[in-house]
Structure 1
Amino acid sequence: MTVARVNVKGARRWLSGHPWIYRTDVTERPLMDAGAVLVHDNRGKALGWALWSPLSEISLRLLDRDAEAVIDQAWWDERIASAIARRVPLEDHTNALRLVHGEADGCPSLVCDRYDEWLVVQFMSAGLERFREEILASLRSLVEPSGILARNDVQLRAKEGLPRETVVLHGDVPREIEVHEYGIKFLAAPWTGQKTGAFLDQRENRHFVGSVARGRALDCFSYHGSFALHLAKKATHVTSLDASGAALMRAADNAARNSLDNISFVEANAFDYLREKEREGTTFDTIV
């Protein structure tokens, strides 16, 4: 059995609830490439299983505190199924959501987002890459997606000694996917958009600000206009502000998709624009 041994500081970090152990706290490196290893403290006591990344500053990522666990296909099936089950209530409000959120779901360095019938994944550690096939098998079985895209283009992968790439791992994935969110529709771009295609983590904030919006509203750093779309449901007028003309073109298309005609689009640096409006004495009732 391959073992990593850690010092008192590393062991204490896990015992206090932190899911990582850093390179400087590993006193005995596993004699293997990246993968799953059993972790022992300096007295030889087993602390649990971790993903091992030989080149990373984050050497050990906690997988399972049970030293008797077997990290195999069944383990990944159970862990991913539990993560997906926690999101079931969200399906009443949206067709785009994060199914697996890394350490928060006990699947360190794994991100999996669902966009309608497609999945976008990110494998962000060398240790996790060792289990790519098991994870893909779980996702295909549990979700039955039409396609799975890997947005493995994040800088973090370079620090793990992994290539940065965007590749289809299963089926086919379109360049644009329509997201439905609390009655609002907008296009996500899984191949080229921010994050895995859209800022899914802001869904509840968008819904909330849309529920309290009033009067003249300003959406700074609007990107593709997802906040502006929610604002426009209650505000009398919305200014969608972004430095990217291309992003604002997408925002305008999204507004048309929702039959919203009370949004104007301004291409400008947000800080310059705000200073200008302050000098003019212009005010807004709702600002994001």
Structure 2
Amino acid sequence: MSNAVVTLKKGEGRALKQGGAWIFDNEIASILGAYENGDIVLVRDFDGYPMGRGFINEHSKIRIRMMTRNIDQEIDEAFLRKRVQDAWEYRKKVTDTSSCRLIFGEADFLPGLVVDKFSDVLVVQSLALGIDKMKMTIIRLLEEVLAADGVKIRGVFERSDAKVREQEGMERVKGFLSEPFDTSVEIVENGVHYLVDVKDGQKTGFFLDQKYNRLAVQKLCKDARVLDCFTHTGSFALNAAYAGAKEVIGVDASELGVEQARKNASLNGLENVASFVCEDVFELLPRLEKEGEKFDVVILDPPAFTKSRNSIKNAIKGYREINLRGMKLVKDGGYLCTCSCSHFMDYELFTKTINQAAHNVHKRLRQVEYRTQAPDHPILWAADESYYLKFYIFQVVDEK
């Protein structure tokens, strides 16, 4: 911890004062005292009022990420153990912990750190320099806290290979943080078995945030014909098949994802119900429409079409296009499950875009439910970046 003191400009720090965790470079008036990037510094308002402590990185536009509002709090091992213990106690209350997100960055007051648990394996993603310096201590504490509850971890793998690390002046890295182990890990979620590729799968290997949204889709799928677009490794498709669908088609542009989805189908004995094709969804949907295909349930789970405010217009076009095409493929009275995992495509914009798509194809939507990410990805109010997943289930009816 350094003795450096950061003073904000007058009128700045608005997000911080509302409960957020970030201070941007243009909000800072002065920094007094020596520090190294990644050090903990004291933050004061323009008038000297103490705001708390956080770690600093002059390579990042997010100059400071706050760790505590208490200026007398030492950021030591006892502090980190309490953060880790609190995160685990919360998960035990709100989710199935056999596989879950254990640490969700700012929402667990450990900014820049993500830790996912897949059965008895941890996958770690460190995205900020300050937390990176504490990473090994936090992992050790996490293993100790879990062990005290009888949960033994056999291996830890790092997936800090996200491009955003470069914005922090950090290299992208991945590899074992424990003794090597088989990186194809079997998990069970909602009764469905999956092989998770923690080494080469997307992000940390599997999207745990959709756990209960996949479960919500099950009730729609008995005896149904289902189309699952952007299936990744087959998760929504397999929930549909597990729930008794008569036919499921999963589509993804990634050959690696489709191959994994087929393996997952075999693992569950569902290969005769769920089939997977490697195609571009934007090309496939118009063709299916032309061929007169209809489905009882269409699921749209695309990757984030935008990761910045600058590309939001193109993202809106993409979301409108797939929803419009998806609605056309739903039988009258069938169901559309549609989502966005882009933080920048906020609730209002996503809702408006779906509404425009329905209007364009003369469909009426009856909302069954609106959902967000699973509770092991808690939404911290005032930390907007923690609320990113929007998930709708609609009944689609022709205009009557």
TM-score scaled to structure 1, two decimals? 0.95
Tell me what 1:282 maps to: 293
- Give the partner amino acid of 1:270: V
Separation in structure 2 between the aligned mates of residue 20 and residue 94 of structure 1, nearest angstrom = 29
Separation in structure 2 between the aligned mates of residue 171 and residue 154 of structure 1, nearest angstrom = 23
Cα offset, 1:285, TM superposition: 0.5
Q: Are the equivalent residues in 1 in contact too, given 2:91–2:97 (CA < 8 A)?
A: no
Tell me what 2:316 maps to: none
SS at match of 1:8: coil
- Give the partner amino acid of 1:139: L
- Give the partner amino acid of 1:238: V
Tell me what 2:117 maps to: 114
Matches within 5 A, 1:186-205: 186-205=194-213
Q: Percent identity?
A: 33
Is the aligned partner of 1:6 residue 2:13?
no
Separation in structure 2 between the aligned mates of residue 197 and residue 244 of structure 1, nearest angstrom = 14
Matches within 5 A, 1:157-176: 157-176=165-184
Tell me what 2:91 maps to: 87
After the TM superposition, which segments of 4 or more aligned residues of structure 1 sit over 3 Å from their partners? none
Separation in structure 2 between the aligned mates of residue 209 and residue 165 of structure 1, nearest angstrom = 36
Separation in structure 2 between the aligned mates of residue 238 and residue 98 of structure 1, nearest angstrom = 28
Q: Deviations over 1:24-67 (max 9, x none)?
A: 11122362111211111111121011121121000111211111
Separation in structure 2 between the aligned mates of residue 194 and residue 172 of structure 1, nearest angstrom = 20
Cα offset, 1:125, TM superposition: 0.6
Q: Are the equivalent residues in 2 in contact too, given 1:94–1:179 (CA < 8 A)?
A: no
Match of 2:227 among 218, 225, 228: 218
Tell me what 1:259 maps to: 269
Tell me what 2:164 maps to: 156
Cα offset, 1:174, TM superposition: 2.2
Is the aligned partner of 1:25 residue 2:10?
no
Structure 2 gap segments, 5+ residues each: 148-152, 300-400
Q: Deviations over 1:246-266 (max 9, x none)?
A: 321211111111111211222
Match of 1:247 among 251, 254, 257: 257
SS at match of 1:37: strand
Tell me what 2:390 maps to: none
Separation in structure 2 between the aligned mates of residue 94 and residue 186 of structure 1, nearest angstrom = 16
SS at match of 2:162: coil
- Give the partner amino acid of 1:205: N
Cα offset, 1:89, TM superposition: 4.1
- Give the partner amino acid of 1:153: D
Separation in structure 2 between the aligned mates of residue 86 and residue 236 of structure 1, nearest angstrom = 38
Tell me what 1:50 maps to: 54
Q: Are the equivalent residues in 1 in contact too, given 2:104–2:113 (CA < 8 A)?
A: yes
Q: Are the equivalent residues in 2 in contact too, given 1:211–1:234 (CA < 8 A)?
A: no
Cα offset, 1:128, TM superposition: 1.1
Tell me what 2:39 maps to: 35
Separation in structure 2 between the aligned mates of residue 73 and residue 263 of structure 1, nearest angstrom = 48
Separation in structure 2 between the aligned mates of residue 130 and residue 9 of structure 1, nearest angstrom = 32
User: Residue 89 and residue 184 in structure 1: after superposition, are their counterparts in 2 closer, same or farther (change >3 A)?
Assistant: farther
- Give the partner amino acid of 2:215: H
Tell me what 2:143 maps to: 140
SS at match of 2:199: coil
Structure 1 gap segments, 5+ residues each: none
Cα offset, 1:90, TM superposition: 5.7
Tell me what 1:102 maps to: 105
The alignment covers a number of residue pairs equal to 287
